Structure 1
C-alpha cells in the first residue's frame, strides 16, 4: 500500500502495482539478436514478450524485421527463404517485401494481392540487431544507446548473454544492489560494498559504491576487473562503481581514484514470453587494457571470461529462485529496506507498460 494525498490534506492507502506483473514498455529499442546470428540470406525467428518476429538479412546485407507469420496460413516466415530484398513463405511461396507488403502470390499474380504483415523498425549497431516493437511512429524519437567504449581501442570487449527464467525487474535489482556480494563469496572472497549515495530522475536511478576487502586473498579474476586491491591500498585510493538504470537499459561503470574509466558494462533484459517470466540478457563488458602492458589483458582474457561466467551463473540461479518464490506465493511478499532499490522499483513501475500481466494459476507453474 502507498499513502496518496487528498485535497483536504488527508491521505488514503492506495494499492501498489505488483512490479513482477508490470510488462516492459514496448516503445523502446530492444536487441533481439546478435549480428552474427543472422547470416547473409538467412532468417532467424525470435520473440519479444510473446510476439513472434522474424529477422532476415537480404541480398544487400541489410537486416529487417517482420511479424513471424504468413498472412495466408499463419505459418512462421522464418521457415521460408530470403528472396532478394524480400522473404518468401516456405509453404505456398507468398512473398513479402521489407515493409511487410505482400508483393507476390504465385498462383494469383500481382494484380490481386492480399494484405501483408506488420513490419518493425530495425537497426543494426554495436554488433546487435535492435527492433522497435512498440508504436513505430515513435522510433525516430527514441535514441539507441551510446556505447563509446566499444570503439575505443583502449578497451577490450566481451559480448555475453543467456536466457534467464525470471521477470526483467529481478535482473535490474540484482545488479543495482551490490549488498548481495555475500552471494559471490566463493568467487570474490571477503568483500563488502558501501554505498556513497544515490540519485534519481523520472526514468533513471543510479548509485555509487566503493568496495573494501575485509580479509583473504583477492581472486585473480576480480583483480582483472577492479584492479589490484593491494595497489589501490598502497596508493590510498578506491575505485568507485556507479550503477545506473536508465529505462530500459542498465549500465555499470568502474572508475579509478584518478577518475579513469576502467570497466564499462552495458546490459539489457529482453522479455521473451507473453507472461514475461523469461528474458534474454544482452551484455557488453568493456575492460581497459593496462597502460603499461596492454597485451596482458589478451593473455588473461580466458580467465576473466571464466570468472564473469561464474558470477553470472550465481546471479542467474538466485533470481530464478526469486521468480519461483513469487510464482508460488502468487504475490510480491518482498520486504525491501534498501532505499535505492525502492527508487528503482518506482522507476520500473512508472516507465513500464500500464497493462498488467495476468496472474497464472498454480497448476500452470508446474
Structure 2
C-alpha cells in the first residue's frame, strides 16, 4: 500500500455541506481480531465470560488445552454458559446440562438423549498469541483474510515485556487520540518533567496513519522517564535525537522509540476493546517491550520502578479521557475545537474505518 503525505487541510475531508458523523457515536468495526482476555485468565477445565461491544462471549479451555469461544447463552433458557461446567472437550450449561462442543453444536441433552438435539449457539473464530486470546466477532468469512497482529519484540529475548490492561470508561476513539497526540505531555509534568513534543513528519495509508516526534527537554530528566524512554543525551533546551513513532493501524495502535542509530529501544502495542453496547467502556490490552541494556540484569532490577512509573502515567491518561467522555455525554455531541492536524486526520481515519451503524444518543445518555 502506497504511503502518501498528509495535508493539513485533511485528506479525508467530506464534500462541502456533507454532515460529519460524530466520532463518539461510531462503533468499532467488528471485522478484526480483538483480544478479549489474557491466556492466564482461562485455565484448563474452566470457562470465563467476556464481552465485545455488548455481545456476551464465553471462552472455554478444555481438558486437552483446546481453546474455543461461543455465544455466552444457552439455547434453552438463555442463561450464561460461562456459569456451566467444562467436561472433557465440551461445555455443559449449569442449568439443565445441555452440552455444546467447540463449534457451538449441541451434542447432548441429558433428558432427551442424542436423538432429538436442538440447535446450538454461535461459535467465534479464536486464536491464542503471545499470552492473549483473540476472537473474531465479525463476519466469519473474513476471519481468514484478517491477519493477527505481529509482535516481534514480545518474543525477542533482547527485550523485557510488561503486560498491562485496565477498564477505561470512554469511547475507544479518545484512547487513540490520547496516545497519538504527544502535545499532552503537560498532563504528565509531575512524572516526566518539562518536555515539548515536535512533530517531524506523518504518513498515511487507507487504514493507517503514523506520526514521528522528537522532544525538547527543559530541565532535569526524571528517573522513571529515563527507564522507559531512555536517558536524555542532551541538557537544557537542545533536542533529543531519539525519534518516537506513534501509529494507528486500525484497530490497533503502536508507539515505538528508536535511538539516533536506529535501534528500537521501546515497543508498545495496545488495543482498546469496547465492552458495552453503547461503547462507553473499553478494556485496554497493552504489551510494553523495553530493550535490555548491555549491563546484565540492570533492567530486571529496575523493573519495579518502571512498573510504578508506567502505572502513574496510565492513571493520569485514564482520568483525563474519562473526563472527556463525561463532557461529551453532558453536551450530547462533539464540541471539540481541534487545531492539531494530526488529530483531525486521525479522527477522519477512525470514522472511515469504523462500523457503519451509529450508536444511538439515548444509549449514550443511559450509560453516562
Which TM-score band (shorter chain)? Answer: over 0.9
Alignment of 1:280-359 (within 5 A): 280-291=283-294, 293-359=295-361
Aligned length: 356
Alignment of 1:175-324 (within 5 A): 175-215=179-219, 217-230=220-233, 238-291=241-294, 293-324=295-326
1:273-314 Cα offsets, whole Å, 9 max, x none, are 0000000000000000112x0310000000000000000000
Shift of 1:232: 8.4
Q: For residues 105 and 356 of structure 1, do their structure 2 counterparts lie closer, same or farther at Cα, with a shift above 3 Å needed?
A: same
1:171-213 Cα offsets, whole Å, 9 max, x none, are 0000000000000000000111110011111100100000111
Shift of 1:83: 1.1
Alignment of 1:17-32 (within 5 A): 17-32=21-36
Please, which runs of 5 or more residues in structure 1 have no aligned partner? Answer: 6-11
Q: CA RMSD in A?
A: 1.6
Q: Tell me the TM-score normalised to structure 2 length.
A: 0.94
1:97-141 Cα offsets, whole Å, 9 max, x none, are 000000000011101000000000000111000000000111011
**Contact kept? 2:56, 2:72, Cα under 8 Å:** yes
* Structure 1 residue 149 corresponds to structure 2 residue 153: yes
Q: Say which SS state the counterpart of residue 27 (structure 1) adopts.
A: coil
Q: Say which SS state the counterpart of residue 143 (structure 2) adopts.
A: helix
**Contact kept? 1:55, 1:64, Cα under 8 Å:** yes
Q: Say which SS state the counterpart of residue 17 (structure 2) adopts.
A: strand
The residue aligned with 1:51 is 55
- Bigger drift between 223-232 and 241-250 goes to 223-232
Please, which runs of 5 or more residues in structure 2 have no aligned partner? Answer: 1-11
The residue aligned with 2:140 is 136
- Partners of 2:13 and 2:298 in 1: CA distance: 55
Q: Say which SS state the counterpart of residue 229 (structure 1) adopts.
A: coil
Q: Tell me the TM-score normalised to structure 1 length.
A: 0.95
**Contact kept? 1:30, 1:131, Cα under 8 Å:** yes
- Partners of 2:14 and 2:129 in 1: CA distance: 44
- Partners of 1:361 and 1:44 in 2: CA distance: 27
- Bigger drift between 193-202 and 112-121 goes to 193-202
